[in-house]
Structure 1
Amino acid sequence: MKIEHFAIVVSDLQRAKDFFCTYFGGVVPATDYHNPHTGLHSCFVSFDSEARLELMQWENIPFSSPHLQEKSYFHLSMSVGNKEQVDALTARLQTDGYLVKSAPRTTGDGYYESVIVPFDGIEVEITI
């Protein structure tokens, strides 16, 4: 069994695509999916692993809608390979103006990670 994809709702699809492609090497198809009946715009971001990330934005449901906000997502963890890469990417993101919620450190359960909040309150852990 494996995770095929994980979906998150974002307020700005292009901004989210740019973030995951620029900083994590994600690749997206040339065109996004759009369902005119539901107002859904989405795309899949592919990474070196087999798991994909689906980014979803509705044109007719405000991002602040309780329908979207009641979801129980807490964070997404992205593995970059080693401690030096965690440090370097965290520094780059901070330089580029992203909020570093937690600087690189070893957690109580033994993970080496940092936590970035790039947009919409979404937390992205950067780990080995």
Structure 2
Amino acid sequence: MILEHVAIWTNQLERLRAFYETYFGATSNAKYVNPSTGLETYFLTFSSGARLELMQRADIPENKNDTIAQYRGIIHLAFAVASPAEVDKIADRFKEAGLTILRGPRITGDGYYEFETLDIDNNRLEVMAKYGGDV
């Protein structure tokens, strides 16, 4: 069994699509629009085959994402890269773009090298690689 996709509601559909294309190499399908419900959606596909569905509809309320507090339920999306050096490269790219780094890059207690960040809707993200001793 595989996890087919994860969906995110947004009120910045085009900007969020561009964010994941720019910083995570996602490829988008053509926008789907349902005129009767007002739903607009993209499926973004990553090199691993994983997919992220971005959805927008005017009647969906704002989320309560908090950049400090954490709550039960889905808390973050994690993106794996090939090496700790690549984690550093992506973290540097985020810093140069003025994007938020919440924590890291750092070595975790369970054998990963990662940094935590936010997308433009304040959804928590991790960028990680297996840690083999060299950073």
TM-score (norm 1): 0.87
Match of 2:11 in 1: 11
Question: How far apart are the structure 2 equivalents of 1:71 and 1:105?
Answer: 24
Residue identity over aligned pairs, in percent, reads: 39
For residue 48 of structure 1, give the secondary structure of its aligned residue in structure 2. coil
How has the CA–CA distance of structure 1 residues 36 and 72 changed in structure 2, closer, same or farther, with 3 Å as cutoff? farther
Question: How far apart are the structure 2 equivalents of 1:125 and 1:8?
Answer: 16
Match of 2:104 in 1: 103
TM-score (norm 2): 0.83
Q: CA offset at residue 72 of structure 1?
A: 3.1
Match of 2:33 in 1: 34
Q: CA offset at residue 118 of structure 1?
A: 2.2
Contact 1:101 1:116 in 2 (8 A): yes
Contact 2:16 2:121 in 1 (8 A): no
Letter in 1 for 2:2: K
Match of 2:85 in 1: 84
Q: CA offset at residue 62 of structure 1?
A: 3.5
Match of 1:57 in 2: 56
Query: Which runs of no fewer than 5 residues in structure 2 stay unpaired?
Result: 65-70, 130-135
Match of 2:133 in 1: none
Letter in 2 for 1:123: R
How has the CA–CA distance of structure 1 residues 64 and 106 changed in structure 2, closer, same or farther, with 3 Å as cutoff? closer
Contact 1:41 1:59 in 2 (8 A): no
Asked if residue 21 in structure 1 is aligned to residue 24 in structure 2, the reply is no
The structure richer in helix per residue is 1
Question: How far apart are the structure 1 equivalents of 2:74 and 2:44?
Answer: 18
Q: How many residues align?
A: 123
- Bigger mean CA deviation after superposition, 104-113 or 81-90: 104-113
Q: CA offset at residue 101 of structure 1?
A: 0.3
For residue 53 of structure 2, give the secondary structure of its aligned residue in structure 1. strand
Q: CA offset at residue 103 of structure 1?
A: 1.7
Query: Which runs of no fewer than 5 residues in structure 1 stay unpaired?
Result: none
CA RMSD of aligned residues (A): 1.9
Letter in 1 for 2:93: R
